[in-house]
Amino acid sequence: MEEEKKEINNASIGEVVEEKEVEETEEEKKDKKIKNLISAVILLAGLFGGSLFVDAIQMARGGGFSQRVLNEADVFATNGKTWVAL
């Protein structure tokens, strides 16, 4: 009778340990997903910030071409190359 009780206790302890392991893996998956999303947001924010930085530098230097000027021109030449609007 005592041996049966010990086996039952050991079995129930084993089940509790297995349940904790399953919960930890689910929590780890959630943590990993959150970290990946944060990484994606940081990457996209960096790309956006870099794009704004390049635009600001082009405005300060007077480089680049405005869309209005490009729309009004049929032939546009720059740096020895000619661009033709269709």
User: Is a pLDDT exceeding 70 seen at residue 29?
Assistant: yes
Average pLDDT, integer, range 55-72: 79
For 64, the 3-state DSSP assignment is coil
User: Is a pLDDT exceeding 60 seen at residue 15?
Assistant: no
Amino acid 83: pLDDT: 78
CA dist 47 → 5, 50, 58 (Å):
63, 5, 17
Amino acid 36: pLDDT: 97
- What's the predicted TM-score (pTM) here? 0.49
Average pLDDT along the chain:
79
Provide the token pair at 46: 């960096």
